[in-house]
């Protein structure tokens, strides 16, 4: 049985010691909280989670963002349902962002508790420097590098058709693409179209940020799915990335998109971590 207690100033150094003692990545789930916690003590927005008299974790409340964070402090298993019940009893209307390992956690909870899931995706990683590529020679199918300053309209048209049915995906414009091309993250040599005969049917690109190289905007038109074309297209993109000098490649994919996850796994991607946010109600 867990209980919640407001942390006092006198608890500050004890909690700091607990936070430094354990690596959060060894836990099954936790919130990525990196703020200075002292201000939360002042405003009484940090809570000790206690099992009997032992502090086993913290709940930190950001009333400006309307978010709550769970930070484990001891290396013992705490059932997610127990944490969720604490949040429901004390923080209704708040968002709860967290990371977790293993798809089964959020999948089973979504059924059991009817969670209001705001987002739920995984980050996958692939060491493409050691990857053996599949034979991608198929008649009528070709991959072309995007011609920057010439094919922006084509990219916009394709992306809007490919991702048009996604609720959280806004309509792309040419001006947004041109602005993207001016950013340091943009890699002009790693933007590709998939072509079937004379018809462009797919798009994908690789960008770079502080975390590394990421595959983004990858997809093909719906009427060409289920034919193995996406696998061949991705394989060609990975080949080009390897030749460019990319060794490790990351991507984000929604956890409900099981077909895409299977595709990425078939080409060597592995789950790194899952990221979710649920609404407490």
Q: How far is CA 56 from the centre of its chain?
A: 27
- Torsion sign (Cα): 114, 107, 164, 259: negative
Q: What share of the chain is helix, strand, coil (3-state, %, to 5)?
A: 35, 35, 35
For residue 103, what pLDDT is reported? 65
**C-alpha dihedral over 139, 188, 178, 122, to 10 degrees?**
80
Question: Which residues, including other chains, have CB under 8 Å from residue 69's CB and lie 6 or more apart?
Answer: 31, 32, 33, 58, 59, 60, 61, 62, 96, 97, 98
Domains of the chain (ranges, CATH numbers): 2-100 (3.40.630.30), 126-274 (3.40.630.30)
Spatial contact of 195 and 176, defined as CB atoms under 8 Å apart: no
For residue 111, what pLDDT is reported? 53
Spatial contact of 262 and 155, defined as CB atoms under 8 Å apart: no
Which neighbouring-strand residues pair with 195?
Answer: 142, 200
Spatial contact of 48 and 7, defined as CB atoms under 8 Å apart: yes
For residue 1, what pLDDT is reported? 85
pLDDT tens track of the chain, all 281 residues? 899 999 999 999 998 888 887 677 778 999 999 888 899 999 999 999 999 889 999 999 999 999 999 999 888 889 898 999 999 999 999 999 999 997 667 766 665 566 788 999 999 999 998 877 666 667 789 999 999 999 999 999 999 999 987 767 889 999 999 999 999 999 999 999 999 999 999 999 999 999 999 999 999 999 999 999 999 999 999 999 999 999 999 999 999 899 999 999 999 999 999 999 999 98
The model's pLDDT over 8-22, given as tens digits with 9 standing for 90+, comes to: 999 999 988 888 876
For residue 22, what pLDDT is reported? 67
pTM for the model: 0.89
* Integer Cα distance of 84 and 266 in angstroms: 35
């Amino acid at each position: 049985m867990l209980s919640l207690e407001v942390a006092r100033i006198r608890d500050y150094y004890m909690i700091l010691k607990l936070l430094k003692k354990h690596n959060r990545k060894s836990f099954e789930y936790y919130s990525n909280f990196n703020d200075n916690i002292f201000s939360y003590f002042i405003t009484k927005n940090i809570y000790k989670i206690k099992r009997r008299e032992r502090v086993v974790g913290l709940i930190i409340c950001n009333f400006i963002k309307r978010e709550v964070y769970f930070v484990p402090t001891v290396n013992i298993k705490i059932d997610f349902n127990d944490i969720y019940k604490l949040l429901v009893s004390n923080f209704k209307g708040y968002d709860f962002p967290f990371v977790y390992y293993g798809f089964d956690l959020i999948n089973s909870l979504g059924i059991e508790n009817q969670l209001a899931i705001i987002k739920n995706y995984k980050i996958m990683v692939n060491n493409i420097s050691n990857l053996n590529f599949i034979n991608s020679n198929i008649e009528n199918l070709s991959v072309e590098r995007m011609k920057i300053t010439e094919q922006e309209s084509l990219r916009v048209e394709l992306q809007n058709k490919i991702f048009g049915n996604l609720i959280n995906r806004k309509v792309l414009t040419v001006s947004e693409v041109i602005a993207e091309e001016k950013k340091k993250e943009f890699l002009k040599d790693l933007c590709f179209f998939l072509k079937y005969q004379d018809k462009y049917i797919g798009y994908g690109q690789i960008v770079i940020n502080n975390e590394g190289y990421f595959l983004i905007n990858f997809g093909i038109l719906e009427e060409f799915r289920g034919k193995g074309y996406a696998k061949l297209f991705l394989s060609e993109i990975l080949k080009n990335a390897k030749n460019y000098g990319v060794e490790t490649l990351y991507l984000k994919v929604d956890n409900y998109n099981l077909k895409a996850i299977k595709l990425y796994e078939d080409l060597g991607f592995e789950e790194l971590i899952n990221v979710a946010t649920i609404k407490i109600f």
